[in-house]
Structure 1
Amino acid sequence: MADAGHRTALVSGAGNGLGRAIAVALAGAGHRVVLTGRRREPLEATAGLLGADTRVATVDVADAASVEALAAELADEQISVLVNNAGVPGPVKPLGEIEPDEWDDVFAVNVRGMYLMCRAFLPPMLERGAGDIINLASVSGKRPLALRTPYTASKMAVIGLTTTLGAEVGPRGVRVNSLSPGPVRGERMARNFRLEAQQLGVSEAEAEARFASRATLGRLVEEHEVGAAVVAMLQMTGLHCADIDLSAGMVAR
């Protein structure tokens, strides 16, 4: 059974974008939030938006020693909610032009990093017989997205990690779910539209319009909607081994 009441939530990649929006939403719902990311300055900026008891810690989720050090640093915390948001967008170009190191860099953060964070923070949850893990996947992992092969492959891997881990730990009281946003308005999508426009020989506005037209609402998802979805998922106590689409209708099933 999930922990009752307001809990301490760890959010990775919380220095900007979706991580910041998720942290703000969790704090607004009454949770204490621990912010993690590679650089302290943006984390401190996020902390300034939250309560005085917000904690900041740096980590490179792709590095096992760094994650182990984070777990040791936070040993005095009862982390009841782990939101694995840290991720990188990867290259925007045809598969044949993607270098092996570029491919590996995407999987190192988006998949290995999620595995390492789960591995580090699961044991106390299992000991208590309660906890929640929410992994950020993407609708890009479930529909074709030209020029984004490593990213889409990594996000499908996140969904597989989520369902399998959930099957392992659900009987011991820990819920594991994934949230698949997209497309979300923000710096990352602006960067993708710019690179896609260069590849296709169109304007950035046209690249964005083409992408948004795939959603039946005809618009991008807003960052605050992703934060609200995370809070809602935590309140749905029967939700487990599930992947939730938040795509403005880009994926319908």
Structure 2
Amino acid sequence: MSLDGRTALVTGGGGPLGRAFASALSAAGARVLLTGRNRASLTEAAKRVAEEGGEARTAVCDVSDPASVRSLAAELADEDVSLLVNNAGVAGPVRPLVDVEPEEWDEVFAVNVRGVYLMCRAFLPPMLAAGRGDVVNVASVSGKRPLLNRTPYTASKTALLGLTRTLAGEVGPRGVTVNSLSPGPVRGPRMDRNFRLTAELTGCTIEEAEHDFASRAALGRLVEEDEVARALVAMLAMPGLCGADIDLSAGMIAPA
């Protein structure tokens, strides 16, 4: 599909999935803005996008901080941001709930839920005024199924699904769609970390932790970054999609 003439803002832009989103959106014709907390990571992501034939600009922003989000909105006041991809997220601790500190819980919700709220609050008004726009919230299949020792993360992603459905009902009648994309475990540094921590917690090897996790999926494997990015672009090609959640988990439907 063509996204020619549209400007896409992607949070969590310094991470592997943010870069994959940027490459796919740029290839579809969008002008891409990557934002995140770490300038060096953003610069590296933009460089990788350019190496893949795309283009992305960068801006530093902490989505959990209202002042930082307001500053970003002011910086982009002249941009017609009609596509917002809320991709920023933190994985949080890997341990039983009773061993999770309140500060750890709050950090997960600050980024994974509060950050989405703040970004939507800042960038939805121009879309509503124009009567068009798309918001895609990157949730997780873990928000729909048990994931032992990951309660803060799963709870935040379940909350994000509820936010998506309700916000879609609020802004859909005014021409703006809101949907969520729920990847399963995406191969990359974050899952490598989780497998390592799971191995430390349970006494298994890292390879066993990965195999156990992947075996729960119907396809018996992890999801690749480019698959998630292609799914995002495919969602934008479905104009009737609103208030929906797209599961891209390689069939991870079995309980933990």
TM range (shorter): over 0.9
What is the distance in 2 between the residues matched to 1:28 and 1:41? 23
Q: 1:137 aligns with which of 136, 139, 147?
A: 139
For 1:245, the equivalent position in structure 2 comes to 247
For 2:41, the equivalent position in structure 1 comes to 42
Which deviates further from its counterpart, 38-47 or 170-179? 38-47
What is the distance in 2 between the residues matched to 1:83 and 1:206? 34
Q: Is the 8 A contact 1:92 1:195 kept in 2?
A: yes
Q: Secondary structure at the match of 1:240?
A: coil
For 1:91, the equivalent position in structure 2 comes to 93
Higher relative contact order (CA 8 A, sep 6+): 1
CA-CA distance at 1:54 after TM superposition: 2.8
For 1:153, the equivalent position in structure 2 comes to 155
Which deviates further from its counterpart, 77-86 or 34-43? 34-43
Q: How does 1:23-172 map to 2 (within 5 A)?
A: 23-48=22-47, 49-50=49-50, 54-172=56-174
Q: Which ranges in structure 2 are unaligned for 5 or more consecutive residues?
A: none
Q: Secondary structure at the match of 2:172?
A: helix
Q: Is the 8 A contact 1:182 1:247 kept in 2?
A: yes
For 2:19, the equivalent position in structure 1 comes to 20
CA-CA distance at 1:24 after TM superposition: 0.9
1:197-240 CA distances to partner (integer Å, 9 max, x unpaired)? 11110000000000000000000000000100110001111111
TM-score (norm. length: structure 2): 0.95
What is the distance in 2 between the residues matched to 1:15 and 1:149? 25
CA-CA distance at 1:28 after TM superposition: 1.1
Q: Secondary structure at the match of 1:188?
A: helix
Which deviates further from its counterpart, 19-28 or 3-12? 3-12
What is the distance in 2 between the residues matched to 1:114 and 1:237? 22
Q: Is the 8 A contact 2:3 2:25 kept in 1?
A: no
For 1:204, the equivalent position in structure 2 comes to 206
Q: Which ranges in structure 1 are unaligned for 5 or more consecutive residues?
A: none
Q: Is the 8 A contact 1:245 1:251 kept in 2?
A: no
Q: Is the 8 A contact 2:3 2:29 kept in 1?
A: no
Q: Secondary structure at the match of 1:33?
A: strand
CA-CA distance at 1:52 after TM superposition: 7.8
Percent identical among aligned pairs is: 68
- Aligned partner of 1:246: which letter? L
CA-CA distance at 1:6 after TM superposition: 4.0
- Aligned partner of 1:220: which letter? L
What is the distance in 1 between the residues matched to 2:55 and 2:219? 39
CA-CA distance at 1:251 after TM superposition: 2.9
What is the distance in 2 between the residues matched to 1:248 and 1:6? 33
What is the distance in 2 between the residues matched to 1:238 and 1:10? 21
| Root-mean-square deviation (Å) | 1.4
TM-score (norm. length: structure 1): 0.96
- Aligned partner of 1:184: which letter? V
